[in-house]
Structures are given as C-alpha cells and as structure tokens.
Amino acid sequence: MILNTELEYKGNLFPSKIISYKKDIDTLYFTSENNVVLQLTIERDSVLRFRYSTTGIFDTDFSYAISQFANKGFNHLEITENDTNYIITTSKLICHISKLDMRKSIYDAKDSSLICEDELGFHWEESYEFGGDIVKMSLKSQQSENYYGLGDKPVENNLKGKRFQNWVTDSYAFDRGTDPIYKAIPFYTALHHAKSYGIFFDNSFRSYFDFCHERRNITSFWAQGGEMNYYFMYGPDMTEVVSNYTDLTGRPQHIPPLWALGYHQCKWSYYPESKVKDIAAKFRELKIPCDALYLDIDYMEGFRCFTWSKEHFPNPKKMVKELANDGFKTIVIIDPGIKIDKEYTVFKEGLENDFFCKRADGPYMKGKVWPGECYFPDFTNPKVRDWWSNLFKELIEDIGVNGVWNDMNEPAVMDVPGKSFPNDVRHNYDGNHCSHRKAHNIYGMQMARATYHGLKKFSYPKRPFVITRAAYSGTQRYTSTWTGDNVATWDHLSIANQQAQRMCMSGFSFAGSDIGGFAEQPNGELFARWIQLGVFHPFCRVHSSGDHGDQEPWVFGSSITAIVRKFIEIRYQLLPYLYTTFWRYVGEGIPILKSLVLFDQEDPHTHYRNDEFIFGEKILVCPIIEPNAKGRRMYIPRGRWYNFWDNTIEIGGEEKWVDADIDSMPIFIKEGAIIPKYPIQQYVGEKVIEQLELDVYFKMGKESSEVYEDAHDGYDYKKGRYSLRNFNQVGKNNSLTIQQFKSGKYATSYATFKINVHGLPFKISSVEVDNEKIDITKLNGDVTFIIPKEFRELYIIGK
C-alpha cells in the first residue's frame, strides 16, 4: 500500500568537506564526503577549468564550443595545502580551494590581489522532471565590479544589474531588452580595480546569468541540465581575456576574402532575374560601390532548399556569371527545413538515410516553415553534416554562387509554442545521444559548420563565405553573422551599435546588423545615419523585408544617395585597414570593434559608455542616433585625436560636443596612426592597386602601425605569401622618422606609397628616404609626396 505519493524535494544541495585529493598531470581531483568531485584542469597559466560531478562520475568530455587547436600548457604549477585550503599556484594565478566546502578564491599571482571568489559556490538541485541536475554557481561581486559580453543581448554594454537567459530564439522585430534572442554565447568579461577576468560556462542547456540583479552583490549562473563546467580566464587586460576565450573556442579558420568586407545589398526578396539585374545595373550607374547581392527564399522552387524557381530564374548559372562579370558576388539563402515531398531529391535522400530529427517515441520531427510541413536534418550527426556539405556542389561549383546565408536555424518553427522544436526531439550529438534540451542551442551552429565545410570544399581554391543567424560559442570558427530581424527605428540604430560591440567583446567579430532595419521602413535620415554606422561594422549589409517598401541607397532622394555613396566610398578606401584588422582578429583574437572600456579599462569614465567605439586599433567612431541632430556630445578617450574631417586635434579624457550634420558623423584618428587607403573601387578587384596611400598622423613620441596584405582570396598566404609592413613612427619637435620593417613573400601590385602627413608642428627643411634627399619643391601644400614602397627609413627634418 502506497502511503506517500510526494517526492522528497531536497532543494539546493552543496558539497561537503573534501576527504581526498589526487593529481593527474595537469588535472586535480577533489572529492567530498557526499561524493561531489571537483575536477580542476590547468589549461594555461591564466586559464583554469572547473568541472563538477555530483555522483562521482563525469559525462563524456565533449564540447562543440572548444577548438581542437586551443593552446594548452603552463610554465609553473605548484600545489600546497594548509589547515583550511588547497593552494594551486601557476605563474599568473593562485587558486584557494576550501577543504570545508570546495568554495574557491582566485588571486593574481603577481600581487596577491583578489580577482574572483565564490559566494555559495557550486550547488545544485535534482531535476525530477528530466533527471540529472540543475547546476548553479554563485560568486561575490567585488567593489565596483562591472560585466560585459554575453553575445547579442539588445541592451547597454554594461550588464550589471541585469539578468539574462541563453536559449537561441527566433525573435522577429525584437526590442530593447528582449531576451532571449538569436544567439547563446555564455561568456562574459568582468572588470574591477582595473583588472579583468572572463568566465565561459560551457553548457549548451538553457542557461541563465544574473549580474547583481536578484541580490545586489552576487553574480550567478546556472543551467537546467548538464554539468557545472566553466573556464576562468585572467587578463588582466580585457583584450587578453577575449583573446584567451577565442583561443579556447576558436578563431576563424581563415581571413575572409576581401570582397566579403565590401558593401552588400539584400532584401526579402529580389526576384525575378530581371529585378536582380536592374538592382545591379543601378549600383553601377550611380557609382555606389557594392560587392554582393543576396537572393532570399523566393529564388527557390516552392521554397525547397537547393532548387531554383524555373519561372523566376530560368538560367541561374548564366545570371550568376553575368553578375560576376559586373563585379557582383551572388549569395543565396539556405534554411534547415526540408519540405516533405517524395518527388524532392533532398527529402528522399534524407529519408532514405534516416538523417532527419525524430521525436522521443520514433516519429520524425515535423514542423511548419516556409515550404509548409518539413522535416529537419540532425546536424549533430557527423554523417548528416557530411551529406549536407555535399549538397552544395551544384550551387557553388556548377552554378558559381559565392556564399551561403543560413537563416531560420535556431531552429525556427511556425505556429507552435516556443517557436522551435519540443524538448523530446532526439539528437545524435556526435555519438553523445541527447534530447533537444541539450542540442537546441548548438543546432544552428552545427548547420553553419556543415555549410562552411561544403563551401570550403566546392569554393576551393577560393575562401568560403557563410553567414548565420543562430550561434553558440565557437560558431565564429565557421561563419559571419548578423543580429537578426531588427526594426527601422532610431532606438534600433542604437541597439545595433551596442550589439555589434558586444558580439566583438564576445569573441565573434565578423558581425553586423540589417542596415536600415529589417521590419518597417526608415526615412532617409535614419537610413543615412545607419549607413554611417554600418560602414564601420565588420559585416556591412543592407537588408529589409519587402513587405515594407524599398531600401536601396537611391530610394530616399538624391541628397541621401550622395551621403550614402560618400560613406560607402570611405569603407572601400579603408579596406586595407579593415583587412589588417581582420588579420589580427584571425591570428590573435583581438576584437575588431572595441568598446571604450575594452580600449581603456583603467579610465572609469569608459565603463558605462555605449555609443563610442574604436574601429580596429586607431579610428574612433561615434554614430548619431537621434533625428534632426547637428552633432552630439561624446566621450573622447584619453590621448590626442585628429578630427577625420578637418585634422583639428582634440585632447581626450572628457565629454565634448562634436558637430556632425546629416552628411557627417564623429570620426577621429589616434595620433601616431598610419592609416592605409586604397583608391575608391566599385567592387573589390575592379582596379589594380597602383599605389597605396598612407595617411600619417604626427605624434610627439613613438607609435607603431601595421599593414597586412595578400592576394585577398585563396590560401597562399598560409604558405608565407603575404606582405606585413610594420611602421614605427617617432615624432620630435623638429623631425619625424618613419621606419618600415617588412616580412612575407607576397609582392603587392603597387610600387610606391603616397604619403599624406597630417599635423606636422614644424615647417619642412628637407626630406630623406634611406639617407637620400627628396626634392622638396615637389611637395604638395598639404605635405604629400611619393616614395618607393620598399623604403626602410623616411626622415622629415624641420627648419
């Protein structure tokens, strides 16, 4: 006879005192009386991994986020103990683990200052509904501690006082504060006392982060299943934290082709073929630079992926070739939903090979998306990914499409609660079979991964280009991204600015927004202001819904068209600067955009700034985000900055008014910078670069700059066929010296530099290049002259 039908609700459970410890090379195991095991792995001197088991048994150690190329190894490791703690010391960190309850404190090994400490530390609840644990971690917030990152959250840069969840979600027309949205990037950077650390919670279940929201001085994160498994990364510079994170989760596997950094035009939808050609012709007629045109779902036959509408695009190969002859790359959309149609080859292959996701009791996962009822490939199965990658052969190799845009891959499902798969859908998870609760957040990532490998295979020897809407940590290895279906409002212009900064701070720099807004219709002023911002984002694309009118650069009148053209031309001039920045991002994980706090974390005025950012290393940008503005107040970071438009110098460290009518925006150049510029082109490769301009901004003292170049596509740069020029500038009261150090085997097409010197504090008496004098009577009034590209030292002497 059953006397009690109630389950015992145990509430939060905690580790008890440690009763044993063992070491296995770089991994330490601490076991408590109640069978909790803390596995501490020293990944690097500045990177520690904490992993907990509540049963004494760990799951298979598998993660889609962690790169196989992540660096491991350390210079120093010492383990000692006293009456109360085990003490683990590396060359960068000291970690104390309490013998009483496993709580941790982490210190800077250099000065013994406290970096991070547990509050309750690790604790958990048993999940009676699904089995396993709800795993939790709580940390004390230090005095004046602030928090940044977490991917695409549409809020201000500083996350303190807010709570979020990570559950990849189709969020059409999201608003400020909407949560969750398209991406799950459970990584944040914390800053206090001018020192920074990061935490990456590698758990793909639905997770939550609370930054002093529920309790004023407590930061916590938890997940609805899986393990408490997180990485602690120490800077102390924020840039080093992000670099450590991208080392761990991976960086793009190659530099994007230069054309991918140009201006892109997209709409839902450009069809039929005649419309696409009209758009292309208009760009060339109006001389507005553009490198890529996008085809949305209407190019397909009944929205069936990997097909073409015979009515709208009767000869796609011919069309793509003609667009290419005019300098346009063609990008097409591919969604995950495969229409249930026994006459449809892709559906038949998926069905025959059992490649589609299934419900718990065996039926296929069926959902409605654009084609109607669909089945969905299980991209967590390596056989499915391989099959999917091979489906791109015709699109890429035969027809000549240049890139693929993955959309609806959250995965989005129409007309159902939650707008996605139900929890009971089963996934292969690379042999670690699981439910959708665990696989949901990585589904879009694995689709992008399979797409990337298909394009890499069939684009070869060119570099692939992929863009995804949904992402988890590590997706930056495969693809670029945009921030999803935004709205044509002034607030969304501000949100786009903050989202792009946050994505870069979260290790995913190749990002941008739908310029002008996807939903609704901007007026000309809003569109112009959004273009001004968008040309300084790593990914630059206008995209809109056809339901709301046209959104090409010429539809808002001639005056707006002229402004749009002017700023797109600035982007094309700055392509060698942006390409160099991408080279650093791919090689070192340095964010392409830097929020002011990332640029100067020691200045407390930067900790809550949202609008201003550094583009690359040397250019300060601040968008105008209000209508009818003739300028704005902005914070100029410490140092001396040249106004891009008139070369006047601003002394930073305070907030100032900056004039910026509709045809302008606040742009400043860091003193000492050397900015490389190409001539304006209508598309990448239109012109042979016959001369590289170098804008030199004088600084009293020393400054270094770099220019990286290669063939702009292909993989020869990985064999040493690149050109890296390091410029060291030294400015004095009556002289300016620039030294060049070059490496790499690539020979650029140009033979000379056009040097434009700004801000010289003296009149020139002579100029020497490699100890030979130049005839200074040939100098232009604004101090411009031409010298051989292989010079070693340029010496400008004052009177």
| Confidence at 652, pLDDT banded by 50, 70, 90 | very high
Predicted pLDDT of residue 660: 98
| Confidence at 548, pLDDT banded by 50, 70, 90 | confident
pLDDT digits (tens, 9 = 90+) for 433-482: 999 999 999 999 999 999 999 999 999 999 999 999 999 999 999 999 99
| Confidence at 549, pLDDT banded by 50, 70, 90 | confident
- Is the pLDDT at 553 greater than 80? The verdict is yes
pLDDT digits (tens, 9 = 90+) for 699-745: 999 999 999 999 999 999 999 999 999 999 999 999 999 999 999 99
So which residues are the catalytic ones?
A: 407, 410, 485
| Confidence at 781, pLDDT banded by 50, 70, 90 | low
Give backbone dihedrals phi and psi of 753, rounded to 5 degrees, phi first: -105, 140
What number of helices (H) and strands (E) belong to the chain? 11, 51
pLDDT digits (tens, 9 = 90+) for 359-376: 999 999 999 999 999 999
| Confidence at 780, pLDDT banded by 50, 70, 90 | low
Q: Give the contacts of 290 (CB within 8 A, at least 6 positions apart).
A: 262, 263, 264, 265, 283, 328, 568, 682, 683
Q: Could you say which DSSP state residue 153 is in?
A: -
Angle between helices 524-534 and 558-573 (to 10 degrees): 0
| Neighbour count for residue 359 (Cβ, 10 Å) | 15
- Is the pLDDT at 329 greater than 90? The verdict is yes
- Is the pLDDT at 3 greater than 60? The verdict is no
pLDDT digits (tens, 9 = 90+) for 266-323: 999 999 999 999 999 999 999 999 999 999 999 999 999 999 999 999 999 999 999 9
Q: What is the mean pLDDT of the chain?
A: 96
Q: 107 versus 2: which is more confidently predicted?
A: 107
- Is the pLDDT at 39 greater than 80? The verdict is yes
| Confidence at 783, pLDDT banded by 50, 70, 90 | confident
- Is the pLDDT at 6 greater than 60? The verdict is no
Predicted pLDDT of residue 8: 59
Predicted pLDDT of residue 547: 81
| Neighbour count for residue 45 (Cβ, 10 Å) | 18
Half-sphere exposure of 709 (CA within 13 A, CB side): 19
- Is the pLDDT at 87 greater than 90? The verdict is yes
- Is the pLDDT at 518 greater than 90? The verdict is yes
Say if residues 424 and 359 touch (Cβ distance below 8 Å): yes
Structure-token pair, residue 365: 């996962």
Give backbone dihedrals phi and psi of 383, rounded to 5 degrees, phi first: -65, -35
Task: State what percent of residues in the chain have pLDDT above 70.
Answer: 98
Q: Where on the phi/psi map is residue 508: left (φ > 0), alpha (ψ -120 to 50), or beta? A: beta
Predicted pLDDT of residue 637: 98
Predicted pLDDT of residue 778: 65
